[in-house]
Structure 1
Amino acid sequence: EIETTKSGRERIVVTEFPYMVNKTKVHEHIVRLAQEKRVEGITAVRDESSREGVRFVIEVRRDASANVILNNLFKLTQLQTNFSFNMLAIEKGVPKILSLRQILADYIAHQKEVVVRRTQFDKDKAEARAHILEGLLIALDHLDEVIAIIRNSQTDSEAQAELMARFELTERQSQAILDMRLRRLTGLERDKIQNEYNDLLALIADLADILAKPGRVIAIIKEELDESKRKFGDARRTELMVGEVVSLEDEDLIEEEDVVITLSNKGYIKRLAQDEFRSQKRGGRGVQGTGVNDDDFVRDIVSTSTHDHLYFMTNKGRVYRLKGYEIPEYGRTAKGLPIVNLLKLDEGETIQTVINAKSDEASENNHLVFVTRQGLVKRTKEAEFKNIRQNGLIALKLREGDELINVFLTTGNEEIIIGTKFGYSVRFKENTIRSMSRMAAGVKGVTLRDGDQVVGAAAITDDQEVLIISEKGYGKRTSATEYPTKGRGGKGIKTVNITDKNGHLAGIATVSGNEDIMVMTDTGVIIRTAVDNISQTGRVTQGVKVMRLDNSARIVTFALVEPEEVVKAPEADQESGDN
């Protein structure tokens, strides 16, 4: 059990050890693991056991997770033990390795046979006894005549033959009459024989009904098992597990938490806790989010969980997959780890986009929608990416000179908006794109003007807002209703008024208004602010200042993250302080 002390600290309390496990040795092992720092966060281990029972206490450091420590102890010590056994059995005379289901099925079949044979045996026995009693009742009904036959016979065999001929008795019945004691001739004994005979007839009828109805056989098996449970059953102290789940996976040892994954233009990746970035008022200067060289910059940022899957789409149209905890954690100003150390990328292959897939099981209705820089779109069922090999999987066939600009998950029946660098956008229904295989190249989503290119795409509904950010730090929110649904492949309508002041469009997304946004520059600076801090304006306006940039710096991308409930920066610092 995990207890919480009055001071708010956690401690693990063990009240039972596995069978044949030495408590003292486990104590010594845990102390050694803590000293060697193989298990972090243990401050004390003590044995408080008494005649009242076992109580073994492991104190946990205030900033550590008792659940993670306990899972580590399960894996590294004998606090949890397991054993396997051979499921080899003789089935119908043939040795076979059976599954648990097969063993149970064979056991039930065996119990059916036992009940049927037992019932048949009891029925035969009851019928034999009833047969004898039937003969005795005939003798008692003709008592004087029976006595006369016996007295007038010279031998047992002569008397037996005469009884069989006179009353149509069988050999067994006539022998039973000859063996009958005189006391059975009393009236009371006669009543006992009659009652026993009647009971046997009822029993025979019941046993015949059991043999005729398989449902009654099953009911008897269940009743007998319930009786065994009542007599001998107690609480299970072990877990019955099947297959590979008997061992703890790495994921069981990792605490689930919200994190931010950043990927630089040169392929450096790292994981940071989301609380590294405090929420600021719009117009702040931000904090340094990652360490980059002069010729590198942060290109992708994804809000995810340590237990979620991440799809990595490459410039060659391949997809790789990692879990959040598999990406190493670094400090805010660290550069990170080269992505090639985690993924088996081919020579010249780079990551183009990263998306988060929250579910382990891909839904049959979910699709991945791909949008390329040249305006092509494609959608493929997520189920086709269910099993991704370590060396990746082909996601789409890219045309020469094209690259992925965005990939996102949809339910298959949504609307999509695509934004371009020159400030145009097109909105269309997703179902106008037929579902394609992984090898397909896609169809036209937007017709681009000379020199234009796609900068972002997202699913959209009328109750949302469209958020745009320009390269020079301007942004705005616009109601999605100002973006009419048109046919796929059009040139689009203006979504922002492009000027020298705000620059070209850096990205486009759809929001509900309660998210936080993390905006990144090519110099590695990140600012986090609430989306509702960004003004809502019309579709063709240029927007308001979201981030003040240093000379020559420009915004390259932004990402939406879950809102953070923190104290806002003081008014005196909101425009000039580094928070």
Structure 2
Amino acid sequence: MSEDWGKRHERAKDELDYKRPDVSIEGELSEAQTEAILNMRLRSLRKLEEVELVKERDSLMEERANLEDLLADTMQQWNKIAEEIRETKKQFGQSFVAGARRTDFAEAQDFEEVPIEAMIEKEPITVVCSSMGWIRAMNGHIDLERELKFKDGDGPGIIFHAQTTDKLLALGSNGRFYTILASNLPGGRGMGEPIRLMVDIPDEAKIVNIIPYISNQTLLVASSAGDGFIVRHDDVIAQTKSGKQILNVKDNSTAKVCCDINGDHIAVVGENRKVLIFPISELPEMARGKGVRLQKYKDGGLSDLTTFNLSDGLTWLDPAGRRRTESDLADWTAKRATAGRMAPRGFPRDNKFK
């Protein structure tokens, strides 16, 4: 007995339109027969589900009993561990296809170290640092005497030519050197950024000088007390933003001068306007320290110093902005740590060589 699906039936658009089959017609199932068939199927499914649940319960109960026995017996625990190790060895040991060693021990190869400068395009720049410590990099090598704009209350400080691949060595008045990558400097369109955002310079410290790093080059550092020494560029490079202590300063003294060595003699001028010239060979080369006495002072301290070749004479800018060279320097040449003599006529009133 089955329903004749060959007959045409009107399609029900909703539940109210549905019409039950006419049980008076031969071949149609009654409602009681339909319910009986459905209940028979559901009972079979429930029976199957019940059997599976019973099996799962028995399995879990057996596993629980085994775990309780395992927790209660230490020897059984070690036996279980040994069994699992054997299974792991069998599964992932050398006999297993993917378990054999696929690497060998050998000497490490030497790889060429690629410096960070190699990743930066080399271009000429002019580094400008104002008297208040705002630093920027202008494109190209501009005229160092060119008039530049600064913030209100600020003015020119340090300016020099460099390359974008250079490392810049900055000496603070606290005697610490700081390293700045020229490629990280802000552009020259604005007023720049405070150098204190790039390195951790204390508020009470000031920038003494900034110079580009040159391998195997030496520079001269000196304190306001008149002590100084020679140090290599490689020894002052700092690896952290907090800098590297090079010149030890005590009491009220501060780092005063930092300049590259270009010559065989050094000229020192004190705040008392006395000038002393002596060979650069009398200064020691150190990696860190206080240094040795450059000039003897009764009052005041160091004002400025410079290095030069004795055969070329000592050059400075006079008050009119003209360069003057003094060739006869016998009156000011003496041993290191002596007092020196009064500066020659026409020497700048600010006691600066440049």
Please classify the TM superposition score into its range, dividing by the shorter chain length. Answer: 0.5 to 0.7
Deviation per residue, 1:225-264 (Å, 9 max, x gap): xxxxxxxxxxxxxxxxx4664xx9465342332x332222
Aligned match of 2:296: 447
Q: When you count helix as a share of all residues, which structure comes out higher? A: 1
Q: Within 5 A, what are the aligned runs for 1:74-85?
A: none
| 1:256 partnered with 2:256 | no
User: 8 Å contact 2:177–2:238 — kept in the other structure?
Assistant: no
Aligned match of 1:542: none
In structure 2, the CA distance between the partners of 1:503 and 1:437, relative to structure 1 (3 Å rule), is: closer
How far did 1:314 drift?
A: 0.7
d(CA) in 2 for partners of 1:402, 1:450: 13
Aligned match of 2:345: 497
User: 8 Å contact 1:353–1:404 — kept in the other structure?
Assistant: no
Q: Within 5 A, what are the aligned runs for 1:157-196?
A: none
Q: TM-score, normalised by structure 2?
A: 0.61
Q: Within 5 A, what are the aligned runs for 1:163-562?
A: 242=111, 245=114, 249=116, 251-257=118-124, 259-273=125-139, 275-277=141-143, 287-294=146-153, 296-331=154-189, 334-359=190-215, 363=216, 366-386=217-237, 388-410=239-261, 414-438=264-288, 440-448=289-297, 450-451=299-300, 453-469=301-317, 472-482=319-329, 485-497=333-345, 504-508=349-353, 558=354
d(CA) in 1 for partners of 2:339, 2:142: 41
How far did 1:386 drift?
A: 4.8
| 1:99 partnered with 2:108 | yes
In structure 2, the CA distance between the partners of 1:447 and 1:376, relative to structure 1 (3 Å rule), is: same
User: 8 Å contact 2:265–2:278 — kept in the other structure?
Assistant: yes
How far did 1:448 drift?
A: 3.2
SS at match of 1:95: coil
How far did 1:353 drift?
A: 1.7
Q: CA RMSD in A?
A: 3.3
User: 8 Å contact 1:268–1:336 — kept in the other structure?
Assistant: yes
d(CA) in 2 for partners of 1:276, 1:383: 28
In structure 2, the CA distance between the partners of 1:254 and 1:268, relative to structure 1 (3 Å rule), is: same
In structure 2, the CA distance between the partners of 1:488 and 1:386, relative to structure 1 (3 Å rule), is: same
Question: Aligned residue pairs: how many?
Answer: 254
Q: Which amino acid is 1:493 matched to?
A: R
Aligned match of 2:4: none
Q: Which amino acid is 1:95 matched to?
A: D
User: 8 Å contact 1:446–1:492 — kept in the other structure?
Assistant: yes
Give the percent of matched residue pairs that are identical in Structure 1 and Structure 2: 15
How far did 1:276 drift?
A: 3.5
Q: Which amino acid is 1:316 matched to?
A: N
User: 8 Å contact 1:378–1:442 — kept in the other structure?
Assistant: yes
SS at match of 1:325: helix
Q: Which amino acid is 2:147 matched to?
A: Q
d(CA) in 2 for partners of 1:291, 1:336: 9
d(CA) in 1 for partners of 2:260, 2:206: 21
SS at match of 2:231: strand
How far did 1:459 drift?
A: 1.9
In structure 2, the CA distance between the partners of 1:462 and 1:254, relative to structure 1 (3 Å rule), is: same
SS at match of 1:340: helix
Q: Which amino acid is 1:457 matched to?
A: L
Q: Which amino acid is 1:270 matched to?
A: R
In structure 2, the CA distance between the partners of 1:298 and 1:422, relative to structure 1 (3 Å rule), is: farther
How far did 1:432 drift?
A: 2.1
User: 8 Å contact 2:131–2:155 — kept in the other structure?
Assistant: yes
In structure 2, the CA distance between the partners of 1:309 and 1:275, relative to structure 1 (3 Å rule), is: closer
SS at match of 1:463: helix
How far did 1:330 drift?
A: 0.9
Deviation per residue, 1:93-132 (Å, 9 max, x gap): 982254346xxxxxxxxxxxxxxxxxxxxxxxxxxxxxxx
User: 8 Å contact 1:261–1:270 — kept in the other structure?
Assistant: yes
Q: TM-score, normalised by structure 1?
A: 0.39
d(CA) in 2 for partners of 1:507, 1:274: 28
Unmatched 5+ stretches in structure 2: 1-99
Deviation per residue, 1:505-563 (Å, 9 max, x gap): 3521xxxxxxxxxxxxxxxxxxxxxxxxxxxxxxxxxxxxxxxxxxxxxxxxx5xxxxx
Q: Which amino acid is 1:409 matched to?
A: D
User: 8 Å contact 2:117–2:165 — kept in the other structure?
Assistant: no
Unmatched 5+ stretches in structure 1: 1-89, 102-241, 279-285, 509-557, 559-579
How far did 1:401 drift?
A: 1.8
How far did 1:476 drift?
A: 3.1
In structure 2, the CA distance between the partners of 1:462 and 1:319, relative to structure 1 (3 Å rule), is: same
d(CA) in 2 for partners of 1:276, 1:354: 17
d(CA) in 2 for partners of 1:482, 1:270: 39
User: 8 Å contact 2:295–2:336 — kept in the other structure?
Assistant: yes
How far did 1:320 drift?
A: 0.8
Q: Within 5 A, what are the aligned runs for 1:87-126?
A: 95-96=104-105, 98-100=107-109
User: 8 Å contact 1:422–1:504 — kept in the other structure?
Assistant: no
d(CA) in 1 for partners of 2:165, 2:304: 27
d(CA) in 1 for partners of 2:344, 2:322: 9
